[in-house]
Amino acid sequence: MSFDAHVLKVLIASPGDTTEERAAVERALHGWNADRSEREQIVLLPRRWETDAVPWLGASAQGVINEQLVDRADIILALFDSRLGMATGAAVSGTAEEIERSHEAGKPVHVWFSEEPIPRGADLDQVKALEHFKQTLSPLGLLGSYASPDDLAFKVRQAIESDLDRLDLGAVPRRLPAQQHAILRARYESEREPNTDSKGKVTYRTRGERLVVHNSGSVAAVDVRVELHGLGDQSAPPEILRMEEVAPTLIPNSEFSWPLMMTMNTARSFAVLMSWREGEEERTESQHVSA
């Protein structure tokens, strides 16, 4: 059944080394639409230059993208892994130009930088240029970070919720009453511990691996339990070290973590099944997580 809605164009801006992240962000936006569009009467329309820009001669490639996508976007989500990208005539990279142009226009702009280890064979000049660009952005506001594509997707939904609270979309159409529920989202977290060998080379080891479950809903989730499952026949999920431990009641905007044991044979992507109670109702939610 059709319904009237505000349509917000959401530009996903990033260099070419963020394929997984871009796909995760687009899935997050489509997921928000599936969960919330009809109730909120808002539709989020993901926009990506590789799928939505129309070939057009007569201007630079970045100029075409600016006219067709950047200037028409309502919200900008910018992501960086280990590359800044190629310089344009107006900025240090195409993504940088899109960020600066949108910020100057007063649009909501969110920028995240990867916390994952720098890939082997990465262009160190690009890594250095990206770090310098990050420093130039810092005075403009709060920058974000992400530990994995799934972590980024979760943070994108948080940013979108914040934008919808701030944007004045007018009175047409009215919002329908929201059904009150807990909304549980899982993510992987760890720390990187530096170690310097006898030759002064710095390496890192991963420690403190854990599964974190956050309640971003409007009611409490009681007796939260988690189960981990592999995604394929040969896929072994991580082991939860305190499987019998039940999370305390997760009130809205709170979280709880379980320690994980990862081995060489552990799959880096796995499914998380979360179950909890809301009053007399038993609820479940499943989610894919990448470590």
> Which domain CATH number covers 220?
2.60.40
Whether the per-residue pLDDT at 251 is higher than 80: the answer is: yes
Q: Compute the average pLDDT of residues 199-204.
A: 72
34 contacts: CB under 8 Å, gap ≥ 6: none
Q: Are residues 51 and 96 in the same domain?
A: yes
List the one residue out of 33, 8, 4, 9 whose CA is nearest residue 174. Answer: 4
Q: Give exposure, 63-92, as e/b (b: 16+ Cβ within 10 Å).
A: bbbbeebbeebbbbbbbbbbbbbeebeebb
Sign of CA dihedral 100, 153, 28, 49: positive
Q: Compute the average pLDDT of residues 92-118.
A: 94
Q: Please tell me the total count of domains within the chain.
A: 2
Give me 23's structure tokens. Answer: 């796909």
Whether the per-residue pLDDT at 205 is higher than 80: the answer is: no
Q: What's CA 172's distance to the chain center, in Å? A: 29
- Give the pLDDT band of residue 1 (cuts 50, 70, 90): low
Residues 149-168 pLDDT 10s: 999 999 999 999 889 888 87
Q: Is 178 domain-assigned?
A: no
On whether the CB atoms of residues 91 and 11 are closer than 8 A, the answer is no
Q: Are residues 15 and 158 in the same domain?
A: yes
Q: Are residues 161 and 35 in the same domain?
A: yes
Q: Are residues 192 and 269 in the same domain?
A: yes
What percentage of the chain reaches a pLDDT higher than 90?
A: 50
Whether the per-residue pLDDT at 143 is higher than 60: the answer is: yes
Q: Are residues 157 and 285 in the same domain?
A: no
Among the ranges 119-133, 180-194, 234-248, 254-268, which has the highest mean pLDDT value?
Answer: 119-133
CA angle (239 as vertex; 238, 245 as ends), nearest 5: 130
What CATH code is carried by the domain that includes residue 27? 3.40.50.300
Predicted pLDDT at 135: 95
* Least confident range of 86-100, 198-212, 248-262: 198-212
Q: Are residues 20 and 139 in the same domain?
A: yes
Backbone angles phi, psi at 157, to 5 degrees: -65, -40
Single residue among 137, 166, 195 that ends a domain in this structure: 166
Q: Are residues 134 and 46 in the same domain?
A: yes
Q: Are residues 59 and 109 in the same domain?
A: yes
H helix runs in the chain, sequence order: 19-40, 49-52, 61-65, 94-104, 124-137, 149-166
Q: Are residues 208 and 270 in the same domain?
A: yes
Predicted pLDDT at 179: 65
On whether the CB atoms of residues 65 and 91 are closer than 8 A, the answer is no
Predicted pLDDT at 172: 47
Q: Are residues 148 and 92 in the same domain?
A: yes
On whether the CB atoms of residues 192 and 206 are closer than 8 A, the answer is yes
| Full residue range of the structural domain in which residue 85 is found | 6-166
Whether the per-residue pLDDT at 234 is higher than 70: the answer is: no
Q: Are residues 162 and 193 in the same domain?
A: no
For residue 173, the one-letter residue type is P
Q: Compute the average pLDDT of residues 131-146.
A: 94
Predicted pLDDT at 65: 93
- Give the pLDDT band of residue 264 (cuts 50, 70, 90): confident
Whether the per-residue pLDDT at 233 is higher than 70: the answer is: no
Q: Is 176 domain-assigned?
A: no
Which residue is associated with the tokens 């976007």? Answer: 73
Q: Is 171 domain-assigned?
A: no
pTM, whole model, 2 decimals? 0.62
- Give the pLDDT band of residue 181 (cuts 50, 70, 90): confident
Q: Is 175 domain-assigned?
A: no
Q: Compute the average pLDDT of residues 270-289.
A: 88
Whether the per-residue pLDDT at 183 is higher than 70: the answer is: yes
Whether the per-residue pLDDT at 87 is higher than 60: the answer is: yes
Other Cβ atoms within 10 Å of 109 Cβ, number: 24
